[in-house]
A = this chain, B = another copy of it.
Amino acid sequence: MAGFFAGRTLDGLGRDLRSGAATAPGLLDRALESIDPSLNAFATVDVEGAAAAARTAGEELAAGRDRGPLHGVPVAVKDIIDVAGLPTGMGSAHFAGHVAGRDAACVEALRAAGAVIVGKTTTHEFAYGASGDTAVNGPSRNPHDPSRISGGSSGGSAVAVAAGMVPLAIGTDTGGSVRIPAALCGISGFKPAYGEIPTGGVFPLSTSFDHVGVLAATPADCRTAYRVLGRPAHGGESRLPDGIRVAWIEGTPVAPDVAETVRRLVPGADAVRLDLPELRRIFAAIQDSEACEVHAERVADAPELFQPVTLDRLRRAGETRGWRFVRAARERTRYAAEVADLMRRYEVLASPTVPIVAPEIGRPDCELGPVQPALLSLTCAWNVLGLPALSVPAGTVRGLPAGLQLVTRAGDEDLLFDLAERITA
C-alpha cells in the first residue's frame, strides 16, 4: 500500500502547488494519511506545527511569494536533528522527554525555504548502527518486506520516502547512514562533501565523519534538496561529458547477484581495487573513539538506559587505544592522497551501496558474515575521505532493492547527479 508521494517528484509537486492542482495544507493531509504506523518511520508527528507551516506556505504561494522548490512540500527530519519545540529522542531512553529549544542549522534552512516539517523519523539509537533496528521506539521496517531491516541509521527517513509518506527526508550519514537505508529501501540518498551542509544542532556521533544528507525518490530530487541545504549554491547546468570515466571499486566481499545487478548500470566501468577493509579499520578507530567520547558519562552513569547492543558496542569501542586513533588519522591522510590520485584518472567511482539486500530484523549475521560491518563495508570509506556520495536505486535482487553508489570529487556533485539521472532514466 504505497503512500500518496510514491511516484511523485518535487518538480511535479511544485508545478501542482503553483497551478492550483494542489495546496500545501492538502499535501500535508496526504502525508499524514500516508503514514503507516506499522512501518514505524516516525518517532514524532507534529500535526499542529505542520498544519501551521502548511497554512503559511499556502498563503505565501497564493500571494505570489515563492520560496522555491521546497515551498509547501512536506519533509521529515531524522530524530537526532533538533527541531525547535519537538522532542529530539535520538532513539534512546536517555533523551526521553527532551525537547529541542531551537532549530538545527539545516532545519532553519528548510523553514526558510518554506518546507513543511511533518515530524521526526526513527533513528538507530544515537545513529550508532547501520541496521535501523535498535531504538527505544522500535525498529523502522522495510516497506518492501516489513520483517526486514530498513537499514540505518536514518532508517525512518528512508522508510518515510520509500513508502510515499513524504517526498523528501533529512538524515545524517557518518558511515553510510543516509545511503545504506536509501539503498535497502529502493530510493535515492545523497551525502555531500564533508561540511557542505552545516551540522549545527545535530547530535554528534563522530564529528570527523558526521554529514547531513538528503533522501528522496530520485537523484533529481536529491539535487533539488541539496541546492536548498548545501553551500555554495550549485549551478545545476548539466555538464556530463560524453567520455566520462567510471571506476568500478572492488576490495570487499559483495553478494554475487548484488554485484551483477548493480554493475549492469555502469557497463563501461574499469575494475579498480581499493583497500576497503583498511579504510573500514581507519573508520572504526576514529568513530569508536569519538562516539565513546560523546557518551562516556552516559555509559558510566546510566548504562541501563542504553539498548543492550548499543551499550555493548560502546563499551567495546571504548577499549580502542589512543595510539590507534592517532595512527588512523595519519593513515586517513595517506588514503586521501591515494584516492585523489585515482580521481585524476576517473571522474566517478561506482560500486553497490550495500553488498547485500536487507536482512531480516534481529538476524546478527548475513551471507557475508556479521550484518553491521557488511552494511558499512562499501560506504564508510567515503566518510573517511569526506567525498560526495550518492546512492540510487539499481533494481531488485531476490525481490529486494539494491543500490548503486556513485562517488566523486568535492565540488563535482552535479556530475554525480547528472550521471545518476542518465543511468536511472
Contacts and interface: CB of A to CB of B under 8 A. Distances in A.
A59 B1 CA distance: 93
A199 interface: no
A324 interface: yes
Given A293-B330, A330-B293, A321 B322 contact: yes
**Residue of A319, A322, A330 ringed by the most chain B CB atoms within 10 A:** A322
Contact-size category for A: 20 to 34
Copies of this chain present in the complex amount to 2
A299 to B, nearest CB: 10
A319 B319 CA distance: 9
Contact of A321 (B320, B326, B327): B320
A352 B283 CA distance: 43
A325 B293 CA distance: 9
Nearest to A322: B289
Contact of A292 (B291, B320, B322, B330): B322
Contact of A325 (B296, B318, B326, B330): B326
A285 B318 CA distance: 15
A255 B320 CA distance: 39
Interface in A307-326: 318-326
A387 B330 CA distance: 25
Interface string A255-295: 00000000000000000000000000000011011111100
B319 A321 contact: yes
A286 B289 CA distance: 13
> Chain A binding site: helix, strand, loop or mixed by DSSP?
helix
Interface string A122-161: 0000000000000000000000000000000000000000
A318 B324 CA distance: 9
A327 B204 CA distance: 13
A289 B323 CA distance: 4
Contacts of A296: 323, 327
A285 B322 contact: yes
Nearest to A287: B322
A290 B285 CA distance: 14
Nearest to A285: B322
B321 A292 contact: yes
**Residue of A286, A291, A293 ringed by the most chain B CB atoms within 10 A:** A293
Contacts of A291: 323
Given A285-B322, A320-B321, 18 more contacts: A286-B322, A289-B321, A289-B322, A289-B325, A289-B326, A291-B323, A292-B322, A293-B323, A293-B330, A296-B323, A296-B327, A318-B321, A318-B323, A319-B321, A320-B322, A321-B321, A321-B322, A322-B322
19 contacts: A285-B322, A286-B322, A289-B321, A289-B322, A289-B326, A292-B321, A292-B323, A292-B326, A293-B323, A293-B326, A293-B330, A296-B323, A296-B327, A318-B321, A321-B321, A321-B322, A322-B322, A325-B325, A325-B326
